[in-house]
Structure 1
Amino acid sequence: MKRLLQGGTIVTGHSTRKADVLIDGETIAKIASTISPDQAEVVEDVTGCYLFPGFIDAHTHFDLPVCGTITADDFASGSLAAIAGGTTTVVDFATPNKGESLQFGLDTWMAKAEGTSHCDYSFHMTIDDWNPSIQAEIPKMFEQGISSFKMYLTYPAMMIGDGAVYEGLQQVSALGGLVGVHCENAGVIDARIAQFKAAGDTAPTFHPKSRPAALEAEAVSRLLRIAQVADSPVMVVHLTNSDAMAEVQTARKRGQTVFVETCPHYLVLDETVYDQAPFIEAAKYICAPPIRHKDNQDVLWKAMGRGQIQTIGSDHCAFTLDQHMVGDGDFSKTPGGLPSVEYRGVLLYSYGVATGKITLSQMCRVLSENQAKLYGMYPKKGALQVGSDADIVVYDTNAHTTITHDASHSAAGYSPYDGFKTVGSIRQVYLRGQLKAHGDTIASSPDGKFQKRGKSQWKTKK
């Protein structure tokens, strides 16, 4: 089917311009200032709206076992929430346990997503074990279209040690891939948690105190020194605070290539969410790293405006209120994570673009273009170009809304942004030319496709 989007303003990573877009089947066939309606079977008037490339969320956790439970959103409900929020491709985390092969992890997550995902999908491969057989599997992951990996400097079940991080960075970067790292100091965090619990301080307000910004910054510094010696680019995921950002800037001044991701909750929420009562009202904001002091929001927005933050990922890791109560009043036993995949676009536009903190093109870069380039999908994804997949988000700047939990598509049953007012909203979402969402109506089927990705396309200095 040929579909014409007429009268909109195309947003790219470098410019905006009014243009019509002709979709033929799954791809963009033509872009011009004016395209005759008789070239299409369906004509959509999108006058006054912005057209973005479909958003890419390279940080989701669907159907993930955590703390003796499983995240509330599997690929069916999680991808539906993604589509509702304009995300047409997710890169989730295939996560084998220690002792399991990378291939087992990939096969397991492929089975979770195939036939259930409403959006297109791929995976980062989590490296939570390090031995000769794991090392031998890394090239095989690239052969199957997996070119990005995840490592942890915290969580005993996930950590592999600094020496393994060093070797992993070297091997992955030599093959043209990218490693993202969760940076917190595990040892000191565990010691602080033990101290708080010994004193009977188990309320959520002690969660950010147990994982202070300084321990994130220390781990970022340590990672970047390891990457310096390994001579490898690296991605710092879900960076939250000014001290950690300063460590990144110091490394960049040394000539290192460092990419940074942050998340919506660090941009619009602050640590006072942990002071709420009763327990569940604060516990539903527990995540790692924690939500920080409000002063850090301005630092992150300014860094994004200067191009120092490359991507915004949701870190969608959803749990129901009942699941959050498993901790029984103890913050350290509460499954951590927020349902955010549905809200990245409206939050970034409303609290970033509309307030003048970032431009439309910067929004396009951090949500679409940069993600596609970093993770080997550009220009098939992340671009509005002839020949690109017709993944398109139509944003109506006049359709203001208020975020409410009852309108959310996540299985979590609540929204951490309940009551937030938006400037405009997402009017239509197309995935490979198929209309998936129109206003509040989600007319979607689980026909998302696995995206076999190539090498990272970001040019790095050597």
Structure 2
Amino acid sequence: MKKLIKNGIIVTASDTYKADLLIENGVISGIGTNLSPADAEVVDAKGCYVLPGGIDPHTHLDMPFGGTVTKDDFETGTIAAAFGGTTSIIDFCLTNKGEPLKTAIETWHKKSNGKAVIDYGFHLMIGEINENVLNELPQVIEEEGITSFKVFMAYKNVFQADDETLFRTLLAAKDLGALVMVHAENGDVIDFLTKRALAEGKTEPIYHALTRPPEVEGEATGRAAQLAGLADSQLYVVHVSCAEAVEKISEARAKGFDIWGETCPQYLVLDESYLEKPDFEGAKYVWSPPLREKWNQDVLWNALKTGQLQTLGSDQCSFDFQGQKDLGKDDFTKIPNGGPIIEDRLSILFSEGVSKGRIDLHQFVDITSTRIAKLFGLYPQKGTIAVGADADIVIFDPLIERTLSAKTHHMAVDYNAFEGMKVTGEPVSVLVRGEFVIRDKKFVGNLGSGKYLKRAKYKQYTCKNQNETVSIQPS
């Protein structure tokens, strides 16, 4: 059935205007004033922004880690994402050394098929590079539409790859048209600092942060950037948390390197002191990179405003406080790394960013949707409001005030990382390809309605200055 969204204010990464929005067969078929097609269901968006659906480029759903599995899977995780205004996610598909890449991809399809209520794609972890892997990569891109590869520079003896693997992945990605993503921390140094802390009897959650200081993130970020420049390839640094990493990304971009940076809501509003909460509650805030000293927040906000960082991911990786986080009760290294973030990503950025004047409304849309769509081969199908684009729409009330809490969130996890935080702005209704998933703040979607996204190749190979706006068209 046709839908006509009326009386709302349409906001994209470049424009704000009042207009009617016509949806037919899952796509936007018309934008104009006083539209009145026959047989269309009228949706009143008075007093609300009409935004392109959020895209979360960084999630870990139904992922095994630290002897357990994330609490949110593709059912609960995508429902929570929808409540938060996210209509597409890109989840990380983990691989095992010695196994075909196809095996890992099939596993992730099984995890997601029949469960997701929003659209989804996969990034592919690269833990080793050899002839078998190199021979599989073209097939992964052409058949699966997976055009982004993740390399871990941390988690020694678990996920960590060496510099040769990273460099050869960058070279392959350059030739194949893929974007290389890095978790940038110096895993070898972290491993030494961690062992030393445990030997000294330092087992509390705060030592997770103290053994992963900002210097190890800055060093790894700079190293990855230099390797990307040497390979003349493209790099995306995930979950940037500190000034040291921002500085290295900024320096590399100033040199013309094709490098992009992502941060996350938790680094914008939480700080290292949360890991010192009594009664082991600091474990709720154990993730990697760790929370930093509070002054880093101003650096990150400024980096978003000036374009040194370009996107906001959630790094959703939820574990219950009771029964999962407490696996590390006597040893911080055994606390499963990660937090529940997916539902609150847009609201926090709007409330703390737009409402407080740190970024403008167009930057908000670009950071949470448009730029992500461009970088990861989804634009202009997704990431904008235009005729012919998927009707992934968020009707967003900018004036609603509420308090974030585990009592009201829709994630499966037993705590909220932002418990008690007051925010302004909330998604009221959310449509994916023209169908309501959330309507008037109630879930009305169907399990399995989410569509797997085959993504286009990466197109942008130059980045001449830090504030450059790119236009990337999928092939």
Query: TM-score normalised to the size of structure 2?
Result: 0.95
Match of 1:119 in 2: 118
Shift in Å at residue 303 of structure 1? 0.8
Q: Determine the structure 2 residue equivalent to 1:441.
A: 442
Tell me if the contact between 1:22 and 1:40 (Cα under 8 Å) persists in the aligned partners. Answer: no
3-state secondary structure, aligned to 2:324: helix
> What is the CA-CA distance between 1:199 and the residue it aligns to?
1.2
Aligned partners of 1:318 and 1:412 also within 8 Å: yes
Residue 457 of structure 1: how far off its partner (Å)? 4.0
Pairwise CA distance, 1:400 = 1.3
The residue that corresponds to 2:319 in the other structure is 319
2:442 and 2:330 map into 1 onto residues whose CA distance is: 38
1-side partners of 2:458 and 2:10: how far apart?
25
CA deviations over 1:176-206 (Å, ceiling 9, x no partner):
1101000001111111111111111110111
Aligned match of 1:345: 346
Query: Which letter maps to 2:313?
Result: G
What is the rounded CA distance, in whole Å, between the counterparts of 1:56 and 1:163 in structure 2? 31
Aligned to 2:146: 146
Is the contact between residue 258 and residue 461 of structure 2 (CA under 8 Å) also seen in structure 1?
no
Whether 2:231 is the aligned partner of 1:230: answer: yes
What TM-score do the two structures reach when normalised by structure 1? 0.98
Residue 197 of structure 2 is aligned to residue 187 of structure 1: no
| Pairing of 1:150-299 with structure 2 (within 5 A) | 150-155=150-155, 156-279=157-280, 281-299=281-299
Q: 1:53 corresponds to which residue?
A: 52
SS in structure 2 at match of 1:350: helix
The corresponding residue for 1:95 is: 94
Amino acid at match of 2:206: T
Are the counterparts in 2 of residues 92 and 121 from structure 1 also a CA contact under 8 Å?
Answer: yes
Q: Secondary structure at the match of 1:189?
A: helix
Q: CA deviation at 1:81?
A: 0.7
Per the TM alignment, residue 439 of structure 1 is displaced from its structure 2 partner at its CA by 3.6
1:309 Cα deviation from its structure 2 partner: 1.2
Hey, what's the Cα distance between the residues in 1 that align with 2:55 and 2:264?
Answer: 13
Offset at residue 461 of structure 1 (A):
4.5
Equivalent-residue separation in structure 1 for 2:443 and 2:243 (angstroms):
39
Tell me the residue number matched to 1:455: 457
Match of 1:412 in 2: 413
- Cross-structure match for 2:307: 307
Aligned to 2:385: 384
* Partner AA of 1:78 in structure 2: G
Partner Cα distance (1:33, 1:202) in 2: 62
1:209-248 CA deviation, whole Å, 9 max, x = no partner?
1000011000011111111111111001101111111111
Count, aligned residues = 460
Q: Is the 8 A contact 1:221 1:247 kept in 2?
A: yes
Higher mean displacement: 364-373 or 396-405: 396-405
Task: State how far apart, in whole Å, the 1-side matches of 2:363 and 2:200 are.
Answer: 46
Q: How far apart in 1 are the matches of 2:138 and 2:51?
A: 34
Aligned with 2:407: secondary structure?
helix
Letter in 1 for 2:67: G
1:218 counterpart SS class: helix
Is the aligned partner of 1:12 residue 2:1? no
Report the 3-state secondary structure (helix = DSSP H, G, I; strand = E; otherwise coil) of the residue aligned with 2:219. Answer: helix
Q: Secondary structure at the match of 2:300?
A: helix
In the TM superposition, residue 460 of structure 1 has moved relative to its aligned partner by 2.4
Unmatched runs of 5 consecutive residues or more in structure 2: 465-475
- Tell me the distance in 2 between the aligned counterparts of 1:173 and 1:80: 35
In structure 1, stretches of 5+ residues that fail to align are none
Native 8 Å contact 2:234 2:461 kept in 1: no
Query: For the Cα contact (< 8 Å) 1:274–1:282, is it kept in 2?
Result: yes
- How much does 1:255 deviate? 1.6
SS of aligned partner of 1:423: strand
Alpha-carbon separation, structure 1, partners of 2:324 and 2:140 = 34
Judge conservation of contact 1:373–1:458 (CA < 8 Å) in 2: no
How far 1:262 sits from its partner (Å)? 0.5
Does the CA contact (< 8 Å) of 1:128 and 1:157 recur in 2? no
SS at match of 2:75: helix
Q: Distance in 2 between matches of 1:86 and 1:125?
A: 25
Q: Percent identity?
A: 42
Secondary structure of 1:378's aligned partner: coil
Cα separation, 2, equivalents of 1:63 and 1:383: 29
* Change beyond 3 A, Cα 1:288–1:70: same
Give the Cα separation in 1 of the matches to 2:459 and 2:409.
34
CA distance in 2, matches of 1:256, 1:417: 35
Deviations along 1:329-378, whole A, 9 cap, x unmatched?
A: 32111001011010111001000000000011101111110111101011
- For residues 297 and 441 of structure 1, what CA distance do their matches in structure 2 show? 33
Instruction: In structure 2, give the amino acid aligned to 1:186.
Output: G
For residues 228 and 211 of structure 1, the distance between their equivalents in structure 2, rounded to whole angstroms, comes to: 26
Mapped partners of 1:204, 1:243: distance in 2: 23
Aligned equivalent of 1:33: 33
Which residue is 2:2 aligned to? 2
- State the match for 2:471 in structure 1: none
Please give the secondary structure, in 2, of the residue aligned with 1:187.
helix
Separation of aligned partners in 2, 1:396 and 1:453: 31
Q: Is the 8 A contact 1:378 1:457 kept in 2?
A: no
